[in-house]
Amino acid sequence: MRTTLAIAATLIATAAHAETFTWAGNTDPQTMDPHAVNSAPVLGFLNNVYEGLVRRGKDMTIEPALATSWEPIGDGEGWRFILRQGVKFHGGQEFTAEDVIFSYERASSEQADTSSWFAPVSEVNMVDDYTVDILTTAPNPIFPDSIANWMIMDAGWAAENGAERPAKDAENYATLNANGTAAFQLVERQPGLKTVLEPFAEWWGDAEHNITRTEFTPIQNSATAVAALLSGDVDMINPVPIQDAGRIASRDGVKVIQGIEARVIMLGFPHQAAELKYGADAGQPNPFADAKVRQAVAHAVNVPAILQTIMRGNAEAASQLVSPAMRGYSSGLAERPAYDVEGAKALLAEAGYADGFSFGLKCPNDRYLNDEAVCQAITGMLAQIGLKAELDAMPVRNYWPELREDNFDMYLLGWSPGTFDAEHPIRFLASTPNEEKKLGSWNFGDYSNARVDELLPMIQSEIDDAKRQGMLDEVTQILQEETAYVPLYVQPLVWGAQENIELTQRPDDFFILRWVTVN
C-alpha cells in the first residue's frame, strides 16, 4: 500500500511538473488593471485573468462569456445582455449586473484609457440581477464586437481596496492585484520580473488546457529569448525575430508557429500640405496632393520582393486598410496595384514629374517588424522611378510627435483595428480629422473625401449586413481609386515553442492560456 502511494505521489509530482508552463514575451504588461491602459500586451495578458460579457474564439468570432446571449433592443436603440448565473470571481464574490454597471462606469471614466469604446453608449441600465440594457445614441450593429476586451471587475472588491477608478499618476490596488472571473487567477506579480497564474478551480467553463501553474517572464532582448527557448528554460516565446525563425524551425525539440496579424502596414501621404518639407526640393509644391503621383508610388513598390527578402516569406500582401481576417473586408477588391516600373514612370510623367523629385520619408525603427529595413527597401525602389527619398528613421517615442506636427512628406504606418472590423480604420485613418466628433485622429495626412465622411455614420448605424458591406466596399473602392494610402502587407505573427506544446495563435497576438496543452 505504502509503495503504491509513493509511486502515485511520484507520478503526481512528475505530472504536475510537466504541466507547469513558462513563457516569455518582449513586453511586460505594465499594469494588472484592465481599464487603465488600452494596449495589446496588457489586454492580451489580462484576457487570461478577466473576462468580458463577450469574448473572441480561436477564429476571432464573438462568443458568449459572462453574457449568455444578447439581442438588439427595439429598432436599434441598444443591446440587451442576459448574464451568466452562478459565476464567481477569484475572490469568491458572486457576479451580478451590479458588477457590469460598475465596470462600465470604471472603464468609461475620464481616468480610463478604454473610454473610447463607450463613446456610442448613452445609458447602461440594470433590468434585474442578470439582465443589463446598454443603450446607444444611434443604432450600433457592431457594439458587441467592440466590447470583447471590456473586462468585468467586481464592484465590492474595487470599493474595498479603493480601486474604484483607474489611475495614471497615483498608486492603485488594481495595478498589482487582480480579481477576475476567467480561467486563471493571479497568484504572484513582480513587475518586470515574473507573473504567476494558476487555474481557477471554480471557473464556469470547461477547461481545455492541462496547465497547473504558469509563469510569465519578460525577456526584452530577442537573442536572449531565442536562447532561453533553445536551452529549454522557457516553453514558449513571443515574438520570434523573423531572421531567427528558420534556424529555430530546423532545431529538434522546438517549433515555430506562424500566422498573420491583424496589422496592415501602409504608406501615408500629406494630402493638404502646400509644399514639400524635406530633401533638395523642399519648398516646392507638394506633388503627393496629386493622386497620379500616389498611384505611381503604389506601382513602384515591389511588395512581393519585400515579403520575400525582409519578411522571409512570412507576410501577406495587403490591398486595403484591413486584412482578410477582419469583419467587413472587401473581398471583391482584393487586388493590389501591380509592381510596374514603366507604368509608374508614365503616371509620374502624366502628373508633370517626368524627372522625379526628392522628398523626406519618415519611418519608425522600433515599432513594426523590421520597419527600418522595409523603409530602406522602399527608398531603393522609389529611386528607380526617379523619386529620391531622404529616409529619416527614429524610435516610436519620437515618431508620433513628428507626425502630429506634420513633419513628413511620406510616412510608414501600421494599423490594427481594435474592433476587428473594417469600420475602425475608416474612423481613424480615412475620415476628415474632427476633434469634436473624435474622427480621423490618426489621419496625419489630412485625407478628406466628402463621400467617405458621409458613408461612415451610415456604416456605423446600419443593421443590415449586406447593405453595410456594400457601403464598406464603396469606401474601400474610393480609397483605392484615390490611393489615399498605399497598403503594403499584413504583418506576420511568429511564435516559438517547445515541440510538446500545443497552442492556438490568434490574429490579435493575444496568447490565450486556456488553449494550451503540455504533452
Partner 1 sequence: MLAYIIRRVFQSLVVLLVVGLVAFSMFRFVGDPIDNMLGQERTQADVERLRTQLGLDQPFPVQYYKFLEQAVQGNFGISYRQSRPVSEIIAERAPATLELAAVSGLFALGLGIGLGVFTAIRRDGIASNLIMSLSLVGVSLPTFLIGILLIYVFSVELDWLPSFGRGETVAVGGWTTGFLTPSGLKALILPAITLGLYQMTLIMRLVRSEMLEVLRQDYIRFARARGLREKSVNFRHALKNTLVPVITVTGLQLGAIIAFAIITETVFQWPGVGLLFINAIQFVDIPVMAAYLMLISVMFVGINLIVDLLYFAIDPRLRIDGRH
Site mask, partner 1, residues 318-347, x = CB under 8 A? ------------------------------
Peptide bond into 239 cis (omega under 30): yes
From 52-60, 79-87, 94-102, 187-195, span contacting partner 1 (CB under 8 A) = 187-195
Q: Residue 448's closest CA among 319, 285, 296, 269?
A: 269
H helix intervals, 351-436:
371-383, 396-404, 423-425
* 168 binds partner 1 per the rule CB under 8 A: yes
Rg of the Cα atoms in the chain: 25
CB of 34 to partner 1, least distance (A): 13
Q: Choose which of 192, 253, 304, 380 interacts with partner 1 (CB under 8 A).
A: 192
What is the footprint of partner 1 within residues 458-477 (CB under 8 A)? none
Question: What DSSP letter does each residue of 118-180 carry, written as one string?
Answer: GTTEEEEEEEETTEEEEEESS--TTHHHHTTT-----HHHHHHTT-SS--SSS--HHHH----
- Residue 88, class by beta-carbon neighbours within 10 Å (0-12 exposed, 13-18 middle, 19+ buried)? middle
In this complex, which beta carbon is closest to partner 1, that of residue 218 or of residue 324? 218
Site mask, partner 1, residues 342-371, x = CB under 8 A? ------------------------x-----
Q: Residue 277's closest CA among 395, 357, 223?
A: 357
Q: Choose which of 71, 335, 342, 435 interacts with partner 1 (CB under 8 A).
A: 435
CB of 510 to partner 1, least distance (A): 15
Q: Residue 262's closest CA among 207, 333, 322, 174?
A: 322
From 37-45, 312-320, 446-454, 480-488, span contacting partner 1 (CB under 8 A) = 37-45
CB of 454 to partner 1, least distance (A): 22
CB of 223 to partner 1, least distance (A): 5
CB of 471 to partner 1, least distance (A): 22
CB of 2 to partner 1, least distance (A): 30
Provide the residue type at 485 as one letter. Y
* 502 binds partner 1 per the rule CB under 8 A: no
From 155-163, 213-221, 378-386, 450-458, span contacting partner 1 (CB under 8 A) = 213-221
In this complex, which beta carbon is closest to partner 1, that of residue 11 or of residue 400? 400
What is the footprint of partner 1 within residues 87-116 (CB under 8 A)? 110, 113-114, 116
* 193 binds partner 1 per the rule CB under 8 A: yes
* 396 binds partner 1 per the rule CB under 8 A: yes
SS3 195: strand
CA distance 139 to 159: 34
Pairing of strands 236-238, 410-415: unpaired
CB of 218 to partner 1, least distance (A): 7
CA distance 229 to 496: 8
Question: What DSSP letter does each residue of 415-473 carry, written as one string?
Answer: E--TTSBTHHHIIIIISPPBTTTTB-TT-TT----HHHHHHHHHHHH---HHHHHHHHH
CB of 405 to partner 1, least distance (A): 11
Determine contact, residues 181/51, Cβ cutoff 8 Å.
yes
Q: List beta partners, residue 60.
A: none
Q: What's the grid cell of residue 139?
A: 443604432
From 99-107, 291-299, 307-315, 436-444, span contacting partner 1 (CB under 8 A) = 436-444
* 36 binds partner 1 per the rule CB under 8 A: yes
CB of 404 to partner 1, least distance (A): 9
Q: Choose which of 12, 13, 16, 39 interacts with partner 1 (CB under 8 A).
A: 39
- Residue 237, class by beta-carbon neighbours within 10 Å (0-12 exposed, 13-18 middle, 19+ buried)? buried
Determine contact, residues 277/517, Cβ cutoff 8 Å.
no
Q: What's the grid cell of residue 216?
A: 510569465
Q: Choose which of 400, 406, 451, 463 interacts with partner 1 (CB under 8 A).
A: 400
In this complex, which beta carbon is closest to partner 1, that of residue 420 or of residue 428? 428
Q: Choose which of 173, 339, 442, 515 interacts with partner 1 (CB under 8 A).
A: 442
* 418 binds partner 1 per the rule CB under 8 A: yes
* 117 binds partner 1 per the rule CB under 8 A: yes
Q: What's the grid cell of residue 236?
A: 514558449
Q: 317: which residues sit within 8 A by CB, 6+ positions away?
A: 303, 304, 307, 336, 488, 489, 490
Q: Supply angle C-alpha 241, 242, 248, rounded to 5.
A: 80
Positions in the binding site for partner 1 (CB under 8 A): 30-31, 33, 36-39, 110, 113-114, 116-117, 167-172, 175-176, 190-193, 217-221, 223-224, 227-228, 230-233, 366, 395-398, 400-401, 416, 418, 428, 435, 438, 441-442
